[in-house]
């Protein structure tokens, strides 16, 4: 019998409150039907959107009314789908909602080409005649700067309409990984059994018994070997989709196209890869500390997640984690702290793992809803830090939604990953400074080191892999499961040079959903670098720096990501933030070595 409960066995207080969006599926259905009938209103402006300022303003107001409701319909359906990926009713709801969103995007796909035809001078003239259009200043600039990569209205409509189909690789992978793929049940050293899942794999890899870790590692990746052709085909086609879409829009590479969306130069990406590779010695030292801590002659892949303390660490129940996190964000101001506490009490969070639930964690929601955080909480320090991370995203949304109109509230991932990691860093510093429990303090230090390893180094390694596989397709090469294994295995050997790799770890690419997100993962690494710099500034300057940071969060999407971070005092076009983050990592490694009497 599985140790993972059914959703019905979990108390309501630990489930997110979807009734706050729609009180029932019937209410959702009514909202779906109503907004579906309104989508054609958007298409009715085609060919006349820019005939005069009044018509353009009217279109913007209609777009906001329709798209805000569409986003709520989509959010509710996707959240329901995440609760139990096995439930066909939920999947049908999500599919219908995504189709509606695609139809809505298609219905307004003419707008960007028409604005670009109007040009900067024409837009300026419109704003002069209709001052209310000035509120769309950033939107106009964003559309006009990408004129050379925008196709005709007809092509844009086709691309928008195809978005539902072009996401198929990701959808298929998600269903395979979360709904269809089942992993073995293994016997623990105490004689009890545990089912390996996507949600608990990392925790099981932290078990103090080395032979048990090896068993979990082998059983887990052997199961992935059974579906390597399906996953390899899915990833290959996802990469091809990225490349072909970029070529349609006249970009030289898929990376250039992906980074141009948030207006981030490719030099930022290159700077990250180069700086991290130049500092792999810090990661190698971390690996050596792990080897010493477990008393092994050689570090193996099933040892990478193990604690430097050599044990599980203390249990941290969800209620305790909430208390620690709320206390930790005190430097960000009383209003920030109180709002987070209220959100935790108001069922923002879907806390525990249940059968069929999507793996991992995320923060979601819309301009008109509360935030929703999906967790698979495991009563450990890693889960506590993940909760702090997702609360950073949620609070970012709250501040941006309060300060910005709908069309400027949504922010880019590049800045989102800063907000989440600032919370993690503050949590680390709070616990190290305020908790008397030496065991917990050591595990907090270890957890932060692990997050540095997995966020700055591991995500950069992922970004390196993503760049390589896209370049192969761009150069008319072929991607096969064997080629994926070869590329990934080589990177794993380079990044974890002191450790011994194996054939199984070369298949790790199969379990990473972010490879379907089109140059997404590098932003985790830039995010933790920027966050380290921001927290250091808050420590040194106090409330003035915290106010700058809150202002940056409140900007939402009203400015480009690099400019938002400059408001918080960080320039990510330079290597200094990444190098400074490396220094923080090195200092924590020194402290860990001293506390554990290693080296």
CATH number of the domain within which 544 lies? 1.10.1370.20
Identify whether residues 147 and 214 lie together within a single domain. no
Average pLDDT of the segment spanning 143-158? 87
Residues 412 and 538 both lie in one domain: yes
Is residue 380, in this structure, part of any structural domain at all? Answer: no
Range in 152-166, 243-257, 297-311 the model is least confident about: 152-166
- pLDDT tens digits, residue range 496-506? 999 999 999 99
Alpha helices, H only, 84-136? 88-107, 111-129
Please check whether residues 118 and 204 belong to one and the same domain: no
pLDDT for the residue numbered 302: 97
In a domain, 300, yes or no: yes
471 and 518 in a single domain? The answer is: yes
Instruction: Kindly state whether residues 247 and 148 are assigned to the same domain.
Output: no
Q: Supply angle C-alpha 97, 100, 106, rounded to 5.
A: 145
**Which of residues 166, 185, 214 is at a domain's end?**
166
* 138 shares its domain with 257: no
Question: Which residue, 112, 146, 166, sits at the end of a domain?
Answer: 166
pLDDT of amino acid 1: 40
Q: Which residues span the domain enclosing 115? A: 7-166
Please check whether residue 367 is in contact with residue 406, taking contact to mean a CB–CB distance below 8 angstroms: yes
Same domain for 141 and 233, yes or no, is no
Q: How would DSSP label each residue in 513-554?
A: GGGGSSS-THHHHHHHHHHHHHHHHHHHHTHHHHHHHHHHHH
Residues 158 and 285 reside in one and the same domain:
no
**102 by DSSP, 3-state: which?**
helix
Average of pLDDT values for 305-331?
A: 90
- Flag whether 324 is in a domain: no
- How far the first Cα of the chain sits from its last, in Å, is 45
Confidence bin at 597 (pLDDT 50/70/90): confident
Burial class (CB in 10 A: 0-12, 13-18, 19+), 158: middle
**Residues 126, 195: Cα–Cα separation, whole Å:** 62
CATH no. for residue 132? 1.20.140.70
Structural domain includes residue 176: no
Task: Confirm whether 147 is domain-assigned.
Answer: yes
Give the model's confidence band at 2: pLDDT under 50 very low, under 70 low, under 90 confident, else very high: low
Shared domain for 414 and 454, answered yes or no, is: yes
- Residue 321 covered by a domain: no
Same domain, 439 and 290: yes
The answer on 93 and 44 residing in a single domain is yes
Q: Does the pLDDT at position 148 exceed 50?
A: yes
Q: Are both 204 and 117 inside the same structural domain?
A: no
Last residue of a domain, one of 119, 147, 166: 166
Q: Which residues are catalytic?
A: 390
Share of the chain above pLDDT 70, in %: 99
Structure tokens at 364: 């979601």
Taking a C-beta distance cutoff of 8 angstroms, is the pair 324, 427 a contact? Answer: yes
DSSP string, 340-384: HHHHHHTT-EEEE--TTPPSS-EEE--TTS--EEEEEE-SSHHHH
Residue 332's Cβ-count burial label (10 Å; 0-12, 13-18, 19+) is buried
Task: For residue 334, tell me if it sits in a domain.
Answer: no
pLDDT tens digit string along 205-214?
A: 989 899 999 9
Let me know if residue 180 belongs to a domain: no
| 592 or 393: which leads in pLDDT | 393
Confidence of residue 312 (pLDDT cuts 50, 70, 90): low
- The mean pLDDT of the chain is 94
Higher pLDDT, 173 or 73: 73
Segment 366-391 mean pLDDT: 95
Q: Is the pLDDT of residue 599 over 80?
A: no
Number of domains in the chain: 2
Supply 155's token pair: 């092509």
Instruction: Name the pTM for this structure.
Output: 0.85
Return the percentage of the chain with pLDDT > 90, whole number: 85
Residue with tokens 């995320």: 362
What average pLDDT does this structure show over 534-553?
Answer: 96
The beta-strand segments (E) located in 218-266 are: none
């Amino acid at each position: 019998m599985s140790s993972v409960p059914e959703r019905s066995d979990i108390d309501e207080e630990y489930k997110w409150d979807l009734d706050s969006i729609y009180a029932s599926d019937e209410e959702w259905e009514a909202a779906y039907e109503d907004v579906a009938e309104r989508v054609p209103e958007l298409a009715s402006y085609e060919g006349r959107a820019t005939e005069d300022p009044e018509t353009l303003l009217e279109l913007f107001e209609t777009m906001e009314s329709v798209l805000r409701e569409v986003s709520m319909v989509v959010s509710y359906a996707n959240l329901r789908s995440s609760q139990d990926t096995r439930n066909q009713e939920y999947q049908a709801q999500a599919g219908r909602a995504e189709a509606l969103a695609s139809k809505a995007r298609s219905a307004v796909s003419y707008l960007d080409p028409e604005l670009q035809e109007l040009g900067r001078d024409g837009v300026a003239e419109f704003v002069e005649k209709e001052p209310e259009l000035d509120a769309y200043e950033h939107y106009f600039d964003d559309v006009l700067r990408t004129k050379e990569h925008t196709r005709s209205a007809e092509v844009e409509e086709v691309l928008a309409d195809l978005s539902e189909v072009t996401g198929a690789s990701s959808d298929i992978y998600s269903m395979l990984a979360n709904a269809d793929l089942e992993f073995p049940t293994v016997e623990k050293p105490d004689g009890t059994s545990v089912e390996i899942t996507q949600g608990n794999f990392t925790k099981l890899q932290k078990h103090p018994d080395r032979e048990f870790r090896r068993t979990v590692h082998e059983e887990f990746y052997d199961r992935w070997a059974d579906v390597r052709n399906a996953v390899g085909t899915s990833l290959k086609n996802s990469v091809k989709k990225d490349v072909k879409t970029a070529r349609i829009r006249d970009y030289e590479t898929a990376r250039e196209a992906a980074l141009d969306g948030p207006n981030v130069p490719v030099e930022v990406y290159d700077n990250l890869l180069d700086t991290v590779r130049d500092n792999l010695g810090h990661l190698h030292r971390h690996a050596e500390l792990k080897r010493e801590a477990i008393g092994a002659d050689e570090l193996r892949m099933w040892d990478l997640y193990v604690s430097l303390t050599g044990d599980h660490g203390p249990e941290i129940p969800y209620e305790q984690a909430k208390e620690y996190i709320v206390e930790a964000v005190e430097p960000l101001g009383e209003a920030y702290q109180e709002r987070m506490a209220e959100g935790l009490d108001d069922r923002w969070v879907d806390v525990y793992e249940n059968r069929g639930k999507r793996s991992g964690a995320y923060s979601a929601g819309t301009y008109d809803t509360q935030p929703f955080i999906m967790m698979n909480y495991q009563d450990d320090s890693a889960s506590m830090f993940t909760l702090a991370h997702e609360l950073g995203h949620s609070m970012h949304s709250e501040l941006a939604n309060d300060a910005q109109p709908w069309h400027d509230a949504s922010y880019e991932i590049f800045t989102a990953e800063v907000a989440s990691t600032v919370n993690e860093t503050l949590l680390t510093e709070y616990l190290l400074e305020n908790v008397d429990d030496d065991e917990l303090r050591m595990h907090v230090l270890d957890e932060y080191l692990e997050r540095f390893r997995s966020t700055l180094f591991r995500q950069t390694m992922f970004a390196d892999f993503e760049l390589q596989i896209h370049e192969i397709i761009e150069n008319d090469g072929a991607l096969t499961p064997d080629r994926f294994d070869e590329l990934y295995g080589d990177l794993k050997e380079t990044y974890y040079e002191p450790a011994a790799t194996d054939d199984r770890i070369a298949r790790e690419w199969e379990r990473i959903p972010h490879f379907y997100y089109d140059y997404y993962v590098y932003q985790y690494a830039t995010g933790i670098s920027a966050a380290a710099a921001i927290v250091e500034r808050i420590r040194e300057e106090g409330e003035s720096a915290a106010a700058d940071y809150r202002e940056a969060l409140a900007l939402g999407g009203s400015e480009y990501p690099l400019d938002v971070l400059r408001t918080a005092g960080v320039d990510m076009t330079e290597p200094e933030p990444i190098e400074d983050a490396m220094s923080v990592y090195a200092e924590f490694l020194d402290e860990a070595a001293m506390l554990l009497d290693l080296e």
